Structure 1
Amino acid sequence: MKNFKNSGIEWLGEIPEHWEVVKINKMVNFINGYAFENFDFDSTFEIPVIRIGDIQKEKVVYDNCLKTKEKENLKQFLIKDNDILIALSGATTGKIAFCNTCDKAYINQRVAIIRGNLRLVKYYFLTRGFSLLVELACNGSAQPNISTKEIGEFKIPIPPLKEQEQIANFLDEKCEKIQNFIEKKEKLLSLLQEQKQALINETITKGLDKNVKLKNSGIEWLGEIPEHWEVSKIKFIAYVKGRIGFHGLNSSEFQYGEGAHLVTGNDFDNYEVAWDRCRRINEERFYEDPSIHLQDNDLLITKDGTIGKTAIVRNCPNQATLNSGIFLVRAKEKLCFFKYLFYVINSQYFKEFVISKTCGSTIKHLYQSDFHEFKIPIPLLKEQEQIANFLDEKCEKIDSLIAKIKKQIELIKEYKTTLINEAVCGRMDLK
């Protein structure tokens, strides 16, 4: 039976009496990345450069890596097998990637290498204690970031070598099983999302009557549509408006708990606006642009960066408006049912339209003048409602399954964190 002692560190709690507590910089080395310039990159070069956005789900995703030439003076910035990479800034601050068998690649200045011989080291970066360290380092920062010096101060429990091997073997086996479970569930998620997308695509282009006669829509990526349907530009069946600038609005003007709600794309949650997330502005700012004052059943679409993220306005507060980066789309009731239009904008057809208008752009942006020209299939109004009601019912069932699977993934990830915490702190019987 183990005897325990107080580690003196809140996240660790009690640890076996014969274990030590050390700063992690005593066990590993840190290598900060290189500050590449834009002229260092070219798609014809051979060596990927790993940036913070390339660190995803504990792996390096090479698909979008910039490429540079191999240079002798940059040798120290090359990754090696068994390295750990960590993102030092941005939304991914503290995220790590494991380089088990890695390709030749450099790291840029916002990524660091953690290199050491301790087999347990990777698991310390998956504990609640490390998450807390990152949270404290980033707290209050406009741009989240952490330094390797701060990471080096992270205190960890160190068992004797034999126990290190036992714990590492135990966690390797358990975490591999957990990861296999997660990957299977994520694959199922992808299949369900594809099924939902295919259902929307088919229904908004072909309708509900499988025996209806079809005609050529005259639009390449729309294909055939029912013979009695029309095709109309969105500017004729809906009011489309976006904010043009905000006359010098800055974060010091934001209010909390009072004032008009200011909606951004980050406030979209499950196709609705999460009003409690919204920042607030005073009435003077609210009335600067009455053309984008929101009301129930308005559709919102992001038009910058990640284009096409959507929300339906429900339970609209007395005063709500848009920040730049979002289109307000208000269907003309006698011509278009708002929920039908919502499904059109969430179809692959709309995605193809966006690609055609933004292809080749360095900064992705859908212009209002282009969006006005978007042509959509228009059934009779009653048929639009039938299509929307059908899709509501079918998509709700798929969304329910998706939510259930996401919850399973969330729970297994919580279990993994607890398992790692207990094991690396010596509080788990490995038998």
Structure 2
Amino acid sequence: MSERSAPADTELGSFVDRLLRFDTTGGDEREAQRWLKRQLDAFGFETFEWTADAERLADHPSFPDDPAEIDAAGRPSVAGVFEFGTPEDGPTLILNGHVDVVPAESENWTADPFDPVWSDDGETTLTARGAVDMKSAVGACVFAARDLKSRVESGEADANGRLVVESVAGEEEGGIGAAAAALDNPYPFERDAAIVAEPTDRRAVTATEGTVMKRLRIRGRAAHAATRWRGEDVLPHFERIRRAFFELEAERGESVEHPLYEEYPVPWPVCVGRVEAGEWASSVAGALTAEWRLGVAPGETVAEVEAAFEERLDEVAAADEWLREHPPTFERFSIQFEPAEIDADEPVVRALRDAMAATGHEDTDPAGATYGADSRLYVEAGVPTVLYGPGTVEQAHFPDESIEWADVEAVRETLTEAAANFLQSKK
């Protein structure tokens, strides 16, 4: 195994390698974005920058109502624009990615998460936090735009309109940069469509799932372990609620149907990702907090799914004497994701699928994803948006997050073709 292989020394490989070395967790995107903007300037893009306004985001249903709970300050999003032909007569296409990444616990990694490792065991693999989600894809978008510009300048391709490459901040926190752009267009021109290069395993994703985040609190009664019968243990109550919620998940999997989600064993996943109970090993656990993520199908609303789980919780509480007198609370927290879907006949989807066919994809059929993305914000703003990118979400957020470099190069080629196709369409 070699820590350096040929792709790392290419222009795209070097670009991605440098971008991965910025630790962009915890709202710390600024230095990476400054570097990226300088690169876009050097490549000949017209550049733009914007920063979200927390008070403006607080009016959006995805975000908390209190602006103080939205970490938007000092987190710029940047973009570069190429114009072709007579731009005003043609459409505008956005290639979008995000530069922020989720935290990486270094003790669970075999190397420093922000020191990219290039390995070659027949195929070149790149390992780093953000390799999949989604700095490699940001690089693919930048270089796809450059490739199209080179083709147009050499006469190999024709285009009319604008191609925008975006690197936004705060996607992992609900889409801070994209929401700001969706609410208040940062450009002096309209946007006609977008491709978000999330890790779709090189599939065209036209539907994304929504989520609602809820915090459950159960109140029992603490007691000394030696006389635990004098207390009220919250854990059996939680187990009944947990079981009821997963039963509802199974029921919804049968009753809520969507043709793009038939392949998933659990189409509308429920997850209890965090549970905290009790204060001391020698005391009965008298309080419990659990944080839940509830899946929302395309065509549903966050409010509808929230109401279904609240009703199931009420049924569990009504059947128990203690919970009837001490009802649990179940409140929203964090960011909410509405589902999103666009028609497979949208011009941007046709342009992408034609490009996929031309670049050797065996499967060009539209797909659905069980996660949410910034695409929902653009769809809500009237900008048809499809997801297509390198790598698999099964690697995202994982220790030793890795991507096959051939996928990145393949997506670069397909995005170039998709942009060329779209910019030949009429506005």
TM class by smaller structure: under 0.3
Question: Please, what TM-score do these two structures have when normalized by structure 1?
Answer: 0.24
**Whose Rg is larger?**
1
Return the structure number with greater relative CO, CA threshold 8 A, min gap 6.
Answer: 2
